[in-house]
Structure 1
Amino acid sequence: MYVFMDTAPGDGPGRDDDELLVRTAMERATDGAPPLPDLVPGARAEGRRRRVRARAAVGATALAIVGLGLFGAALPVWGGDGEPARGWSAASQTSPVPTPTSAPVPVRAPVHVEPSPGESSMADLPERESSRQRGFQNEAAAVLESLLPEALGPVRPVDIAVNRYQGGADGGPAFPLSFSVRPLATGKAARADRACLDVAVKHLRCDEVSLPGGMMAQAITAAGNAEGGKTVTSVTVRFTYGHSRVTLAVGGDTDAMVSAPVTADDLLVVARDARFMELVAYADARPMEAREGSVRGG
């Protein structure tokens, strides 16, 4: 199965855990030798940086090779409390327990994005938590790439936030991806789910779709940023799982005026896959994002 570090940030593993982390890292090294999310600002910012991304990717690759042990160590088989890191029961979930898998996942060089003034990034997290989130991102990028159309590949993590990814080959259009499992707001901050509405004048279409386990999702297609006779289209699937709101979204490249090379149906294929739902279940049980109603870095 996909396995991630589940001890609280700052809790150090015992000696046996350290030995297992090292062994796991060595094995991986040898094997692998809301409204709609606003994707436009991120796409524009990443577009402005595409001219320097090739150099950034080279540097990130070197860092990834040096830090292979760190990434591998983020995915131990056992948690610090001596229990399996992933042990959910069917009775505690709103969908069936995902099918475990065990294939090793090579480390992917992340796309580097400099935070804006006053904005935080994963680099500001404690080392143990940063390692956990990077390990999760690496697993998620591999799952997304395997399930989404080839035109979106390769899929790489973006190092500024655990919910940020990028699709598309170097030198081509850059497609921003968001895979968010965000804890729901509670108490007075809690809000009802947004209505699923079609808005023709805004080129917005929303469909209510069923997922395994009786969950309902909203599959949304939106078009905007018309320029020169072209319109950039983005797609989103969102639903509630456990105590979290799950959002999977792919935007277009607004600099190149290229729409997302996927459809809402493509995202539903991902949402119905056990590998994706295993990632969702882990992130719901061990959150990595701020609760709804709070501002990251604020």
Structure 2
Amino acid sequence: MHVFMDTAPGGEPGREDGELLVRAAMERVTEGAPPLPDLVPVAVVQGRRRRSRARAAVGAGAVAVVALGTLGAALPMWGGGGEPVREGSVASSTVSRAPSPLRTPVHIEPSPGELSMADLPAAERARQEQFQQQAAALLDELLPQAFGPVRPVDLAVDRYQGGKDGPVFPLTFSVRPKAAPGEAHDPPCRSVPEKHLRCKEVTTPDGITVRSVSVSENGRKEARTVTDTVLTFERGRSRVTLSVEGDDEAMVSAPVTSERLLAVVQDKRFLELVAYADAKPMEPKEHVVRGG
């Protein structure tokens, strides 16, 4: 069940490192070749990976349990238009479920000068942490068991991590307000076989056009590859990104196919989370990267 605190957003971390991440990843992926605009979505993922390593960096203490069914009686659900919805919602169909355990967040130290969720006002931080708990529980249910458990990362609301006692699989679930019309547009969806890059677009039965981009990297020491996959689509006033990354140190791809991710973005409970984040943004407006 997905319930949220209706606290006005504020104090979003003004992270302005997107352009640097894209530039660094583009140089890595396109070494020896002219830059290709098709690489941008996965380049963002690969750039994040360099800063998202965290193995078992968790706080001490027992895992708490929250009675989400009780909260559901007092707090509204949010539908596609950002208005409260109760009847016929996921909340009404899951009240009888057992309470979901709170997932201890993975801790990642911010880079020098970088803000994290700890810098948010208390009410906004609580709202974002609650959203992360809801998202992590749902993604854990929808993704393969081998990927889990899915846990939130305390650096930013769009950051999560899968894997237990082995490879670490960074996961991004972002609902970011779109740039103003005319400031940004998607490049053509083209596959680049020589760069091990595959791009395809699919329109779901609900009319959502989803772009899927996968890229594979060769290992330096072994003849193995690790594959990252990122799905993007627009919903309301936001651009949604759902991506999974492999463990580049262990050279193990995440056990998630693009088809499985596509199934996730079609789940009505996932779209309900998207609708809430679109109506009550938790991330800064998307940053436009100009030039190659």
Q: TM-score, normalised by structure 1?
A: 0.75
Amino acid at match of 1:40: Q
1:40 is aligned to 2:35: no
Counterpart AA for 1:143: L
Report the CA distance between 1:39 and its aligned residue: 3.0
1:130 alignment partner AA: R
Using the alignment, how far apart are the partners of 2:82 and 2:275 within structure 1?
11
Equivalent residue for 2:225? 231
SS in 1 for 2:201: strand
* Partner AA of 1:253 in structure 2: D
Q: Which secondary structure state, in structure 2, belongs to the residue aligned with residue 213 of structure 1?
A: coil
Once the two structures are superposed, residues 197-251 of structure 1 have per-residue CA deviations (whole angstroms, 9 ceiling, x without a partner) of 1011111111111124211101121112432211110111110001000010000
- The answer as to whether partners of 1:43 and 1:175 remain within 8 angstroms in 2 is no
Q: Which moved more, 1:109-118 or 1:229-238?
A: 229-238
| Contact in 2 for aligned 1:98/1:274 (Cα 8 Å) | no
Per the alignment, residue 7 of structure 1 pairs with 7
For residue 234 of structure 2, what is the aligned residue in structure 1?
Answer: 240
Name the CA shift for 1:122/1:276 in 2 (closer, same or farther; >3 Å). same
Q: Secondary structure at the match of 2:44?
A: coil
Cα offset, 1:40, TM superposition: 3.2
Deviation at 1:44, TM superposition (A): 4.0
1:54-113 per-position Cα deviation (integer Å, ceiling 9, x unaligned): xx32x2444x64xx77x97xx66556xxxx35254599xxxxx97445344321100000
Three-state SS of the structure 2 residue aligned to 1:130 is helix
CA–CA distance in structure 2, aligned partners of residues 76 and 157 of structure 1: 21
Contact 1:98 1:277 survives alignment (8 Å)? no
- The answer to whether 1:210 aligns with 2:203 is yes
**AA paired with 2:42?**
L
1:43 aligned partner, one-letter code: R
Q: Percent identity?
A: 52
Distance 2:256 2:107 in 1: 24
SS at match of 1:176: strand
2:184 corresponds to which residue?
191
Distance in 2 between residues matched to 1:287 and 1:60, nearest whole Å: 31
Distance of 1:201 and 1:77 partners within structure 2: 54
For residues 282 and 187 of structure 1, what CA distance do their matches in structure 2 show?
22
CA contact (8 A) 2:176 2:284 kept: yes
CA spacing shift, 1:121–1:216, aligned 2, 3 Å: same
Gaps of at least 5 residues in structure 1 are 11-33, 92-96
Contact kept, 8 Å, 1:183 with 1:289, in 2: the verdict is: yes
1:127 aligns with 2:105: no
The structure-2 alpha-carbon separation of the partners of 1:192 and 1:42, relative to structure 1 and needing over 3 Å to count, comes to closer
1:138-153 equivalent positions in 2, closer than 5 A? 138-153=133-148
Gaps of 5+ in 2: 11-39
Partner of 1:158: 153
Say which of 212, 224, 240 aligns to 1:219: 212
Distance in 2 between residues matched to 1:98 and 1:280, nearest whole Å: 14
What pairs up with 1:48-67 in 2 under 5 angstroms?
49-50=54-55, 53=56, 56-57=57-58, 59-62=59-62, 65=64
Q: CA RMSD in A?
A: 2.8
Secondary structure of residue in 1 paired with 2:273 = helix
Determine if contact 1:151/1:168 at 8 Å carries over to the other structure. Answer: yes
Query: Match for residue 248 of structure 2?
Result: 254
**Which deviations, in whole Å up to 9, do the C-alpha atoms of 1:252-286 show, x marking residues without a partner?**
10111111211100100101111111111111111
Are residues 135 and 226 of structure 1, via their aligned partners in 2, closer, same or farther at CA, if it must alter by over 3 Å?
same
Residue equivalent to 1:275: 269
CA contact (8 A) 2:173 2:243 kept: yes
TM-score (norm 2): 0.77
In structure 2, distance between residues paired with 1:157 and 1:45: 15
Q: Does 1:86 align with 2:81?
A: no
Q: Deviations over 1:137-190 (max 9, x none)?
A: 0010011110111110110000000000000003x00000000000001155x2
Give the SS at the match of 1:293: coil
Q: CA deviation at 1:41?
A: 4.4
